[in-house]
């Protein structure tokens, strides 16, 4: 999700990249549609020179495994896009889709064509607008982050409204709020600790925007921010770090690859668990 992400046409071409599954009759097949940004495709900095690439360890993959254990005819369709923002989700320009100008258009097409067969839709979007402003060399660009927050507020109604109006009434629509990578600044000394505390306000603003829009259109919300304990400043961890800093470092790549706050495989597993609790 940081600017260093390398967008590939292979990801953009994943309009119908169905996960492997046992044979099933066409009439029996149902779908889980995973939408959004780098998290929806399990992105991790595992490419050459730490390039961010899709993996099969994302929350969508791990959530799908849980759901399919209960629903064997379920198929996973991943339309997510590395580096997607709320604006590009609506207007396009980052990834390409056959017969659609944007991820939203591709998703609406899929939802309309498959109706009640689409059992689940998950969405992770909005963080690239804000946390894409964190770079290895420049750190956090506050001006950029504030503009990103405003952009997310502008485009989220189109994101959720567009999906809701295309989805069948029985489809379970689930969005997520965001953990706060800004708390990692706590590790940079006294000035960093101040910045880490200040980052909470920006994260709260982003999450409030997402929750208002998800709620207005009948989406459930996976509370990832709470699961990652992003507001827990209790210094009860082995190194005396606050709990939120500890959880972020343990679950993401931010301490291993500067500027990259994407989850590791087990971090994606935590997010999958949070989605699963809402989906069931």
In a domain, 273, yes or no: no
Rounded Cα distance, 249 and 264, in Å: 10
pLDDT above 70 for 12: no
* Phi-psi region at 99: left, alpha or beta (left = phi > 0; alpha = psi -120 to 50): left
Beta 139-140 vs 134-135: how paired, if at all? antiparallel
In a domain, 163, yes or no: yes
Q: What range does the domain containing 99 cover? A: 9-180+206-223
Residue 37 belongs to a domain with what CATH number?
3.40.50.1110
In a domain, 258, yes or no: no
Rounded Cα distance, 252 and 263, in Å: 4
* The pLDDT of residue 207: 96
Residues 6 or more apart in contact with residue 146 via CB below 8 angstroms: 202
98-119: per-residue pLDDT in tens? Answer: 999 999 999 999 999 999 999 9
Rounded Cα distance, 228 and 5, in Å: 23
pTM: 0.89
In a domain, 137, yes or no: yes
Taken in order 122, 128, 228, 180, the sign of the CA dihedral is negative
Average pLDDT on 55-71 reads 98
Q: Which of 166, 159, 168, 68 is nearest to 118 (CA)?
A: 168
* The pLDDT of residue 140: 65
In a domain, 21, yes or no: yes
Burial class, 170, CB count within 10 angstroms (exposed 0-12 / middle 13-18 / buried 19+) = exposed
Beta 172-176 vs 30-36: how paired, if at all? unpaired
pLDDT above 60 for 224: yes
130-178: per-residue pLDDT in tens? Answer: 988 776 555 566 778 888 899 999 999 999 999 999 999 999 999 999 9
In a domain, 18, yes or no: yes
In a domain, 24, yes or no: yes
In a domain, 37, yes or no: yes
Q: What is the mean pLDDT of the chain?
A: 90
> What total of structural domains would you count in the chain?
1
Rounded Cα distance, 226 and 224, in Å: 5
């Amino acid at each position: 999700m940081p600017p260093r992400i390398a967008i590939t046409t292979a990801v953009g071409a994943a309009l119908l990249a169905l996960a492997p599954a046992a044979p099933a009759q066409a009439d029996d097949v149902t779908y889980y549609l995973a939408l959004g940004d780098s998290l929806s495709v399990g992105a991790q900095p595992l490419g050459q020179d730490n390039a961010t690439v899709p993996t099969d360890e994302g929350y969508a993959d791990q959530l799908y495994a849980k759901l399919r254990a209960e629903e064997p005819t379920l198929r996973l369709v991943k339309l997510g896009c590395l580096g997607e923002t709320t604006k590009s989700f609506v207007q396009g320009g980052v990834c390409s889709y056959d017969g659609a100008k944007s991820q939203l258009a591709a998703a609406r097409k899929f939802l309309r064509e498959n109706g009640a067969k689409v059992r689940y839709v998950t969405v992770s979007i909005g963080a690239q607008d804000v946390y894409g402003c964190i770079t290895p060399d420049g750190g956090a660009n506050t001006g950029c982050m504030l503009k990103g927050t405003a952009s997310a507020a502008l485009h989220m109604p189109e994101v959720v409204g567009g999906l809701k109006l295309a989805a069948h009434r029985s489809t379970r629509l689930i969005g997520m709020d965001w953990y706060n990578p800004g708390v990692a600044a706590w590790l940079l000394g006294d000035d960093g600790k101040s910045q880490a505390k200040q980052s909470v306000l920006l994260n709260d603003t982003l999450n409030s925007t997402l929750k208002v829009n998800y709620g207005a259109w009948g989406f459930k919300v996976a509370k990832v921010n709470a699961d990652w304990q992003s507001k827990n400043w209790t210094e009860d961890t082995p190194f005396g770090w606050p709990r939120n800093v500890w959880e972020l470092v343990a679950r993401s790549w931010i301490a291993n690859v500067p500027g990259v706050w994407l989850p590791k495989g087990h971090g994606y597993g935590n997010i999958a668990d949070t989605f699963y609790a809402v989906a069931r």
